[in-house]
Amino acid sequence: MSSYLIFAYGGVGLCGIGVFGFILHSHLLRRLIAFNLLGSGTFLILVGLSQSGRGQPDYIPQALVLTGIVVAVAATALALVLIRRWAALTKHATLPEDQGPS
Amino acid sequence: MAHFPIAGLIVFPLLGALVSLALSKRWRTVMSFILITALLLNNVSLLFQFYGQGTFNEAMGNWSAPLGIELRVDGLALIFSLMSALVASVCALYACVYLSATQLKLFWPFFWFLWAALNSIWLSSDLFNLYVGLELLSLAAVGLVALSRDATSLAAALRYLFAALLGSIGYLLGVALLYATYGTLSLPELSQHFSLTLSSAVALGFMCIGLLMKTAVFPMHSWLPPAHGGALTPVSALLSALVIKASFYIVLRLWTELSLEIASASAGMLMGILGSAAILWGGWMALNQTHLKLVIAYSTLAQVGYFMLIFPLLSPVDAHASHLAFQGGVLMLLAHALAKAGMFLAAGNLLFCSGQKDLKSLAGLSRYRPLNIFAFGLAGVSIMGLPPSGGFNGKWLLIQSAMLQSQWVWVAVIIMGSLLSAAYIFRVFSYTYREVEGGDSFKQPAAVLEWTALSLSVLSILLGLASMLVLDLLPISAVVAQ
Amino acid sequence: MSFFGLLPLWVLMTSFLAAIVIFMLPEERHGLRSTLNLVAAVVKIGLIILLIRLVAQQETPEVSLEILPGLSLVLRADALAMLFAGLSSILWLCTTLYAIGYLENSPNRSRFFGYFSLCVASTMGISLAGNLFTFLIFYELLTLSTYPLVVHRGTPQSLKAGRTYLAYTLSGGVVLLVGVALFYAFVGDLAFGQTSQMAEFTETSPIASAIIFLLLIGGMAVKAALFPFHGWLPTAMVAPAPVSALLHAVAVVKAGAFGIIRVIYDVFGIELAWQQGYVLPLSLLASFTILYGSWRALQQTDIKKRLAFSTVSQVSYIVLGVTLLGPIGTVGGLVHLLHQGLMKVTLFFCAGNYAETLGIHKIHELNGTGRRMPMTSAAFTLGALGMIGIPPVAGFISKWYLGTGALAAGMDWVIWVLIGSSLLNAAYFLPVLYRIWFLPQQGQWPHEAFTQWRDTAPLLLIPALITAALSVAAGLFAGSDLSPLSWARLIVIREYQP
Amino acid sequence: MNELIDLTLICILLGLATLSLFTQSLFRSVMFFILLGLILSLVWIRLDAPDIALAEAAIGAGITGILLLDALAHLRATSNTPPQLLQLKQPRFWLALLSGTGVILALGLAVSEPLSPVVALDLKVSENLAESGVTHPITAILLNFRSYDTLLEVAVLVLAALVALTLRQSDEHPVANEFLPNQLLHACLKLFFPMIFLVSMYLLWAGSTQPGGAFQAGAVLASAFVLFYLVGLKTQLAQNEHYLKRGWIFGLAIFVLVGAVPLLQGQPFLTYPDAHAGVLILLIELGLTLSIGWILFSLFLLSQSASTFQKKDTP
């Protein structure tokens, strides 16, 4: 097994953990982290898998991942701003439907 | 100048975003409207270019696919581009009267980015480019939802953001698998080599789930009603009319380009079942809401269900029936965009008059604002799918297609959905007819607000008479592979 | 395209444009609105007369627009269309006059007259529809434009009636939609009158054909208030009197009946429908509805409710007539479409007059009204006598043709239905007439208005007198070339020509 | 041997991921996440992707880490109940478990399918590299072959900053000077700043021939700005909304204009004239670097004010 493929499998694992955490957690920050894990897993699959198919470095998926990382950081920053504003207004870091009876 | 109209669809909105961020208050609005006019003209010239030369591709940066990104102008892309131009410009007009100065200042750049994202999605034929377009669209939409800045809309924006992010990642996972399998990102090239292997099936599964989540297809819909119902009125209109269409459009593209109806019949069936559930559930929930904008938001859920019925009706054997279903679905998408935007704007006016969100507060409004109620009613006609309207024609074609293939279940679902939608629309209508004691203390909205709402509603009705103009852009070759 | 070629479109547009302009007018512009309404109504009658002359000369002006692939919106003026269009245009004028008087000083007139004109436009569309698809479009439009009129008063009662009305008509509309969609999917885009293709289709797939027939008739039957789909009609009587008059005695129920005629004669063809055995159950159902409606009318104490059930019964005469095989019965059914319209609208006008002038809603309150309101009462009497079928009022002519038609078709039992229902008609109308003319007034009128007039306000009275006079004239001059009867014969001659 | 390293890396990666999601303390969770970002950079190097490794370190771990940590400080006040992991009675737990395993299974199956990509896109890249104006393939892809993607991506960044601006309080002045009152540190960091700036510019310059480029450079620049801010140097520039916004769009504006000029000459959008491609790409990258740095810094700055609570905001 090439190391490219191994990392693709690693990406699969990250995605699984990410999805599990994303659905399970109600704390928004934890969800955000889960989303980032999911993203990293996807990037690993994208590069690892295509390079294992080609058997050599493939610059196209690498460039795509660069774009993807920037988009992900933009989304993360945006989510953080929203979360912080939400927390400042309501003193909660979870959405209303996840707060349980209070 | 052959490259101009197509590039204009991207350049003008981006310029709009730049201008609205860089200029001072007065020039911001003036320049925005100049650019809106330019975009409308641009769309028309693109239409004529299309009439002249038919479907054509444009290689960005002169790098043709698969190395570069190609834009494609075909009938479907044009219809959606024209649709967004119409709806967006009317909504902009509405917004610049409706919103406060601070809100408007922030509205413009979001609006322009949104439009740029929409156009990029309609035109793109590159899988990864579609992903970037989707992200741009989602973030602009989230920003617009957060524009009203109160806690409710923040919660809605967060919910929306997380759903959108998850959806995008699902899509990107699919793209990753497809690229690894076929080594290309260009959709036309992919369709040449495509065969439904295990990994492509997984890829398409992830892509569809992600995109359908962004479209708010049942059961992944719970983010939509608070986001669309809670946003500022022109924003609700833009979101319901245009934004959810984008991700659906990509599903439709993938499906027809890759001829998935041939690959797997059960996938289409599954989509149909989801759609049916959406139609019934959305309709039922709309019937039980007490807030006007939530009724309309749930109605969007139900309408999305109708679009989903295209997929089981695309048939590998009956080209004519497939064509009917495709045309009908697109017509419904278009009619829904016009009618739902008109309906949201009209509802916004009604809420402005009464100052409350509750349906009960509508009592007496049909006397006070007959024109506005008329606008609401006309949009309602199209949503219900009663003739003459674009919504009716779309439904008619879907029903015809289902009948020709003896798929009676979908006929029954469409009929039940129509009755449900009639029930919730007339329920709103009857509230406005109530007469209550104790005089009216209504505020009067500006005339522009009412006329913009009416213009969209009237368009959705006129679409019922001029459907051929749209359908002529969708020849049978657009849906059935040779 | 020439002016005459576009006539069907102009006829539709007169009321449609009137509706649009009225919606735009501010509420307070009452004078302008009334003028506009009346001018539009008169222009429409003029256009209809032009059109009738064209049609009489064997021409069929037609306008069509392709709105979906292989599917056109067709407006076509044939003889049958003109029968219904003529009726609606005359009654639009009368009802508009009446409504202007009736709604004086009441709010929301802009809304009312706007939807009123829209509703007339839909009726015109129904009568001029050249194929099933066009028919369907205007049929649904009629539902939409009448709903605001039913709930016009905004009271909980009228909102409830509106709900019932919608539940019935929209369900009917959906059934019709499915029927029409099936027709287009399996038979194709056929204009009215192209019955030979339908015959071929029926030969190859009789079951599908039967289902299509059932769905089409089922959809129409709701508006035609055939038993058991009649429930909405009495409930919808809470609407203002002119609405009840025009819409529920004329436009809506007649649209249903007219649709049934179209389906039997112009989609399937009466011979085919008989051969397949589609029609006999319909005749039986119509007969039952005739008797049932009369029976229920007898039990009502509210004037408008009694009239409503009378409508249920009378509309079925039309259905019964057109289901009789043979030209004579058809003539009876067709001519009743017009006669019943004239007579029933008279009755509703008068009922409205009683309610507005004296506050009378119940039958037992009518005692002695003949002296207080002689003209209204006279008009009411003429209408009632016509309903019973007493010569020379128009109702007699219809019943005569129905009877002879039944005998000619060899369906003797129909005679018994006619006799039975006439007796019932007499039983529920004659006591009313007796109260009006021969019983003395009992105490004060419930709520007296218009005391400055001997009878009632002229705008309320004149339309009633006109329609009463027309219903007598239609009977008296039935033999003349211009009578509804002659026109009905013309239609039948053309229909039965191969 | 190499495989062993790879497998170890994977194990660490997955372990850190699990820890960062399921550890009780939120602070530790963020720390694990940052650590994971650093490990990921190593992984990218193993994947022969030094550009991504740089970006991951600078953006993924660096900027995201700063933002998360900063947010954490402000979320202290919220009711933070630690996650209960095994809520066996909750349908949500089962849904999560099901989805997680489903994703792993489906992706695992898909990944295990032997591949032979039909389109040799990688060869096309090297064939056309000479005409792209740069010698580093990734820069060629990002700023020439697929520059349209990059254009939209920059728009995404501007959007994120714009949302932050939307949620900012209109009339407040975050106090910049109170964080690090240490004079010595102040002076040191002041010295640091030009150095970081230089590093950033080097990364930018290097991008046309070797790993590096506008995004990495922008991220480094942003960290310089953040330091600048933390030591309490005046950030009047950032207070003025106009400068703020014009700074964001600077790069995008250059990009759009450079891309639109060919339209007037009858060329497709974003076509660079062959002779000047290298210069134009460098110009665009310079603009992008400055804007990206500015945007990322603004995000940091504005999210501060998004979480200040004022009484009049109560809904």
D193–chain A nearest CA distance, Å: 23
Dump pLDDT digits (tens) for C200-248: 888 888 888 889 999 999 999 988 888 888 888 888 887 888 888 877 7
**Cβ neighbours around D314 below 10 Å, total:** 10
- In chain B, residues with a C-beta closer than 8 Å to the C-beta of A68 are 131, 172
What are the residue ranges of helices labelled H in B239-264?
A: 244-257, 260-263
Dump pLDDT digits (tens) for C356-367: 888 888 888 888
In this complex, do D269 and B2 lie within 8 Å of one another by their Cβ atoms?
no
**Nearest residue to B80 via CA among B329, B383, B374:** B329
D198 touches chain A (CB under 8 A): no
**Nearest residue to D204 via CA among D218, D183, D193, D189:** D218
C111–chain B nearest CA distance, Å: 7
**Nearest residue to C72 via CA among C188, C176, C177:** C188
- In chain A, residues with a C-beta closer than 8 Å to the C-beta of B139 are 74-75, 78
CB A41 within 8 A of CB D94: no
CB A14 within 8 A of CB A44: yes
With CA atoms as reference, the chain C residue closest to B404 would be C185
In this complex, do A24 and D96 lie within 8 Å of one another by their Cβ atoms?
yes
Report the pLDDT value the prediction gives residue D289, as an integer from 0 to 100: 92
**C472, part of any domain:** yes
ipTM for this model: 0.90
Residue C37 confidence (pLDDT) above 90: no
**Cβ neighbours around C293 below 10 Å, total:** 28
Indicate the number of domains in chain C: 1
Among candidates B142, B169, B181 on the partner chain, residue whose Cβ is nearest the Cβ of A42: B169
Report the pLDDT value the prediction gives residue B481, as an integer from 0 to 100: 63
In this complex, do A13 and D10 lie within 8 Å of one another by their Cβ atoms?
yes
Residue D83 confidence (pLDDT) above 70: no
Question: A65-74 as b/e, with b when 16 or more CB fall inside 10 Å?
Answer: bbbbbbbbbb
Per-domain residue ranges of chain D: 1-73, 134-309
Among candidates D2, D40, D59 on the partner chain, residue whose Cβ is nearest the Cβ of A70: D59
Residue C452 confidence (pLDDT) above 80: no
Residues within 8 A of D (CB atoms), B 67-106 only: 67-69, 102, 106
- In chain C, residues with a C-beta closer than 8 Å to the C-beta of B435 are 153-155
Q: How far apart are CA A28 and CA D83, in angstroms?
A: 12
D40 touches chain A (CB under 8 A): yes
Count of all residues that appear for chain A in the document: 102
Q: How far is CA D138 from CA C278, C435, D62, D210, in A?
A: 76, 100, 22, 9
Report the pLDDT value the prediction gives residue D169, as an integer from 0 to 100: 62
Q: How far apart are CA C159 and CA B426, in angstroms?
A: 10
Backbone angles phi, psi at D33, to 5 degrees: -65, -40
Pick the more confident residue, B118 or C120.
B118
Report the pLDDT value the prediction gives residue D315, as an integer from 0 to 100: 37
**C125, part of any domain:** no
Q: How far apart are CA D266 and CA C104, in angstroms?
A: 69
Estimate the crossing angle of helix A28-54 against helix A3-24, to 10 degrees: 160
In this complex, do A45 and B159 lie within 8 Å of one another by their Cβ atoms?
no
Helix (H) or strand (E) holding B409: helix B408-433
Per-residue pLDDT of chain B (482 residues; tens, 9 = 90+): 678 889 999 999 999 999 999 888 888 889 999 999 999 999 999 999 999 988 999 999 888 888 999 999 999 999 999 999 999 999 999 999 999 888 898 899 999 999 999 999 999 999 999 999 999 999 999 999 998 888 888 999 999 999 999 999 999 999 999 999 998 999 999 999 888 888 999 999 999 999 999 999 988 989 999 999 989 999 999 999 999 999 999 999 999 988 888 778 888 999 999 999 999 999 999 999 999 999 999 999 999 999 999 999 998 888 899 999 999 999 999 999 999 999 999 999 998 888 888 888 888 777 778 788 889 999 999 999 888 899 999 999 999 999 999 999 999 999 999 999 999 999 998 888 887 765 567 788 888 899 999 999 999 999 998 999 999 998 888 777 64
B137 touches chain D (CB under 8 A): no
With CA atoms as reference, the chain D residue closest to B7 would be D269
B347–chain C nearest CA distance, Å: 18
In this complex, do A82 and B166 lie within 8 Å of one another by their Cβ atoms?
no
In this complex, do A78 and B185 lie within 8 Å of one another by their Cβ atoms?
no
Which residue of A80, A82, A90, A98 is the best one to mutate when testing the D interface, meaning the one whose CB has the most D CBs within 10 A? Answer: A80
Task: Find residue C66's DSSP bridge partners.
Answer: C72
- In chain B, residues with a C-beta closer than 8 Å to the C-beta of C73 are 388, 465
**C162, part of any domain:** no
Label residue C404 left, alpha or beta by phi (over 0 means left) and psi (-120 to 50 means alpha).
Answer: alpha
Q: Is the dihedral of CA C155, C156, C160, C163 positive or negative?
A: positive
Q: Please report where in the chains the tokens 């302009």 appear, as a residue.
A: C21
Q: What angle do CA C178, C181, C183 make, to 5 degrees?
A: 110
- In chain D, residues with a C-beta closer than 8 Å to the C-beta of A23 are 92, 95-96, 99-100
Among candidates D46, D49, D111 on the partner chain, residue whose Cβ is nearest the Cβ of A49: D111
In this complex, do D14 and A13 lie within 8 Å of one another by their Cβ atoms?
yes
Residue D139 confidence (pLDDT) above 60: yes
Subunits with at least 3 CB pairs below 8 A relative to chain A? B, D
Residue C342 confidence (pLDDT) above 70: yes
Q: How far apart are CA B108 and CA B106, in angstroms?
A: 6
D120–chain B nearest CA distance, Å: 6
CB B411 within 8 A of CB B403: yes
Q: How far apart are CA A39 and CA B402, in angstroms?
A: 40
Subunits with at least 3 CB pairs below 8 A relative to chain C? B
B199 touches chain D (CB under 8 A): yes
**Cβ neighbours around B406 below 10 Å, total:** 9
Residue A68: give its domain's CATH number. Answer: 1.10.287.3510
In this complex, do A88 and D26 lie within 8 Å of one another by their Cβ atoms?
no
Q: What angle do CA D23, D24, D30 make, to 5 degrees?
A: 60
Dump pLDDT digits (tens) for D98-132: 999 999 999 999 988 877 778 888 888 888 888 88
Percent of chain D at pLDDT > 70 equals: 86
Indicate the number of domains in chain A: 1
B146 touches chain A (CB under 8 A): yes
- In chain A, residues with a C-beta closer than 8 Å to the C-beta of D137 are 59
In this complex, do B430 and C162 lie within 8 Å of one another by their Cβ atoms?
yes
Who's near D186: CB < 8 A, 6+ residues apart? D180, D231, D232
Report the pLDDT value the prediction gives residue A34, as an integer from 0 to 100: 94
In this complex, do A62 and D55 lie within 8 Å of one another by their Cβ atoms?
no
Dump pLDDT digits (tens) for C185-199: 888 877 787 777 888
pLDDT band at C82 (very low <50, low <70, confident <90, very high): confident
D42 touches chain B (CB under 8 A): no
With CA atoms as reference, the chain B residue closest to C188 would be B400
Q: What angle do CA C433, C438, C441 make, to 5 degrees?
A: 100
pLDDT band at D188 (very low <50, low <70, confident <90, very high): confident
**C416, part of any domain:** yes
Amino acid at the residue C19: A
In this complex, do C166 and B411 lie within 8 Å of one another by their Cβ atoms?
no
Helix (H) or strand (E) holding C5: none
Q: How far apart are CA C225 and CA C292, in angstroms?
A: 12
Who's near C416: CB < 8 A, 6+ residues apart? none
Task: Find residue D79's DSSP bridge partners.
Answer: A92
Dump pLDDT digits (tens) for C378-418: 888 888 888 888 877 888 888 888 888 888 888 888 888 88
D258–chain A nearest CA distance, Å: 20
Q: State the burial class of residue D124 (Cβ atoms within 10 Å of its Cβ: 0-12, 13-18, 19+).
A: middle
DSSP 8-state code for residue C1: -
Report the pLDDT value the prediction gives residue D176, as an integer from 0 to 100: 46
In this complex, do C151 and B430 lie within 8 Å of one another by their Cβ atoms?
yes
Residues within 8 A of D (CB atoms), B 280-339 only: none
CB C449 within 8 A of CB C338: no
Tell how far CA C230 is from the center of its chain.
Answer: 14
B222 touches chain D (CB under 8 A): no
Report the pLDDT value the prediction gives residue C1, as an integer from 0 to 100: 54
In this complex, do B202 and D110 lie within 8 Å of one another by their Cβ atoms?
yes
Report the pLDDT value the prediction gives residue D73, as an integer from 0 to 100: 81
Mean pLDDT of A10-28: 92
Choose the most confident range, by mean pLDDT, from C1-5, C100-104, D238-242: C100-104
Residues within 8 A of B (CB atoms), D 256-275 only: 256, 259-260, 263, 266-272
Pick the more confident residue, B92 or C59.
B92
Mean pLDDT of A9-19: 94
DSSP 8-state code for residue D144: I
Report the pLDDT value the prediction gives residue D82, as an integer from 0 to 100: 62
Q: How far apart are CA D294 and CA D296, in angstroms?
A: 6
Dump pLDDT digits (tens) for D42-78: 999 999 999 999 999 888 788 888 889 888 887 776 6
Helix (H) or strand (E) holding C74: strand C71-76
CB B161 within 8 A of CB B142: yes
Q: How far apart are CA B134 and CA C310, in angstroms?
A: 63
pTM of the model: 0.92
Interstrand relation of C71-76 and C62-68 (parallel, antiparallel or unpaired)? antiparallel
- In chain D, residues with a C-beta closer than 8 Å to the C-beta of A5 are 111
**Nearest residue to D81 via CA among C460, B95, A100, C331:** A100
- In chain B, residues with a C-beta closer than 8 Å to the C-beta of D128 are 63, 67
Report the pLDDT value the prediction gives residue D309, as an integer from 0 to 100: 52
Mean pLDDT of chain C, nearest integer: 85
Q: Touch between chain C and chain B (3+ CB pairs, < 8 Å)? A: yes
- In chain C, residues with a C-beta closer than 8 Å to the C-beta of B396 are 68, 71, 181
3-state secondary structure of B397: helix
Mean pLDDT of chain D, nearest integer: 83
**Nearest residue to C133 via CA among B459, B472, B377, B467:** B467
B468–chain C nearest CA distance, Å: 6
Report the pLDDT value the prediction gives residue B401, as an integer from 0 to 100: 93
Q: Range of A42's domain?
A: 3-98
3-state secondary structure of B459: helix
Q: Please report where in the chains the tokens 């489906």 appear, as a residue.
A: D106
Widest distance between CA atoms in chain A? 57
Q: What six digits make up the tokens of C278? A: 């589609």
Subunits with at least 3 CB pairs below 8 A relative to chain D? A, B
Which residue of D8, D12, D13 is the best one to mutate when testing the A interface, meaning the one whose CB has the most A CBs within 10 A? Answer: D13
3-state secondary structure of C76: strand
Residue D233 confidence (pLDDT) above 70: no
Residue C437 confidence (pLDDT) above 80: yes
